[in-house]
Amino acid sequence: MEEWQIDLIKKWNGYIKRLLWIAVFLGVIAAMPLGYSRWMMEKTSKQIEFIFDFRDLLQIASYQPNPETFVQMQLVSMQEAGITTMSVYESTLNDLLLAGRLNIYNESQVALLQQNIPISNRNFTYVLFAGEKEENTLRPIIKKRFNKDNINVSNWTFGGRSGLILETSIENALIKTMEPDPLSLQLIHDEGFRIIPRISDQDRPFDQEATERMLANFQKLGVKRILFDGNAVKGFGDQIEKRTLYSFGDLLNKYNIGLAAIENLKNPQSGFETLANLVEYNVVRLYSLSENDAAALKPDVIADRFLLAAKDRNVRMFYLNGSVVRNQDKSEITNSLDNVYKAIASPNGAKDKISSVGFSTGEAKEFERSSPPGNKLLRAVIALGAVAIIALLIGTFFPVLLLPAFFLVLFGSVALYLYSSALVEQGLALGVGISTSTLAMIWSMKRVDIYSRKYGKLPQGFSIKRRLEISVFLFFVTTLITLLSTPFVFGLLSDITYNLRLQQFRGVSVLHTAPIALVSLYTVFFMSRSSIMNFQKILRSPITVVWVLAALAIGAVGYYYLSRTGNGGTASSLEMLLRGTMEQFFGVRPRTKEFLIAHPLLLLGFFLSIRYRAARVLIIIGTIGQLSIIDTFAHLHTPLYISGVRVLLGLGLGLIIGLILIGVWKLIEKRIVEGYNIWIGTEKWK
A 10 A CB-CB count for 555 gives 10
A 10 A CB-CB count for 348 gives 12
pTM of the predicted structure, to 2 decimals:
0.88
Q: Can you tell me the distance from the alpha carbon of 203 to that of 352, in angstroms, rounded to the nearest whole number?
A: 42
Q: Can you tell me the distance from the alpha carbon of 532 to that of 94, in angstroms, rounded to the nearest whole number?
A: 74
Q: Can you tell me the distance from the alpha carbon of 390 to that of 372, in angstroms, rounded to the nearest whole number?
A: 26
pLDDT of 327: 76
Q: Can you tell me the distance from the alpha carbon of 357 to that of 314, in angstroms, rounded to the nearest whole number?
A: 13
Q: Which residue ranges make up each domain of the chain?
A: 47-90+179-361, 93-176, 413-680
Cα–Cα distance list, 20 to 12, 13, 398, 437 (Å): 12, 10, 15, 17
CB distance 86 to 188 below 8 Å: yes
Collapsing DSSP states into helix, strand and coil, what is residue 105?
A: strand
Strands 125-129 and 102-105: antiparallel
pLDDT of 558: 57
Element housing 220 (H / E): helix 208-220
pLDDT of 533: 63
The angle that helices 375-397 and 485-492 make with each other, rounded to 10 degrees, is 140
CB distance 402 to 45 below 8 Å: no
Q: Can you tell me the distance from the alpha carbon of 435 to that of 426, in angstroms, rounded to the nearest whole number?
A: 14
Q: Is residue 459 over pLDDT 90? A: no
**Nearest partner of 390 among 435, 442, 424, judged by Cα:** 435
Q: Can you tell me the distance from the alpha carbon of 579 to that of 568, in angstroms, rounded to the nearest whole number?
A: 17
Q: Is residue 639 over pLDDT 60? A: yes
- Of the two residues 630 and 528, the one the predictor is more confident about is 630
Q: What is the mean pLDDT of residues 535-552?
A: 63
Q: Can you tell me the distance from the alpha carbon of 685 to that of 583, in angstroms, rounded to the nearest whole number?
A: 43
The angle that helices 421-457 and 375-397 make with each other, rounded to 10 degrees, is 40
Q: Can you tell me the distance from the alpha carbon of 153 to that of 330, in angstroms, rounded to the nearest whole number?
A: 47
- CB-based contacts of 485, cutoff 8 Å, min separation 6: 432, 433, 435, 436, 437, 630, 633
Q: Can you tell me the distance from the alpha carbon of 244 to that of 241, in angstroms, rounded to the nearest whole number?
A: 8
In the predicted model, what is the mean pLDDT of the chain?
89
| Beta bridge pairs of residue 161 | 158
**pLDDT tens, position by position, 365-406:** 999 988 889 999 999 999 999 999 999 999 999 888 999 999
- CB-based contacts of 124, cutoff 8 Å, min separation 6: 106, 107, 165, 166, 167, 168, 169
A 10 A CB-CB count for 229 gives 20
- Give the DSSP letter of residue 123: -
**Nearest partner of 472 among 356, 613, 590, 600, judged by Cα:** 600
- Sign, CA dihedral 337-338-339-340, equals positive
- Of the two residues 406 and 561, the one the predictor is more confident about is 406
**pLDDT tens, position by position, 53-107:** 999 999 999 999 999 999 999 999 999 999 999 999 999 999 999 999 999 999 9
Q: Is residue 568 over pLDDT 90? A: no
**pLDDT tens, position by position, 606-626:** 999 998 888 898 999 999 999
* Fold assignment, 47-90+179-361: TIM Barrel (3.20.20)
Cα–Cα distance list, 682 to 69, 428, 518, 669 (Å): 87, 49, 32, 16
pLDDT tier, 676 (very low <50, low <70, confident <90, very high otherwise): low
Q: What is the mean pLDDT of residues 13-17?
A: 87
Q: What is the mean pLDDT of residues 413-421?
A: 90
Q: What is the mean pLDDT of residues 170-199?
A: 95
DSSP3 helix / strand / coil % (the chain, rounded to 5): 65, 10, 25
CB distance 599 to 651 below 8 Å: yes
pLDDT tier, 290 (very low <50, low <70, confident <90, very high otherwise): very high
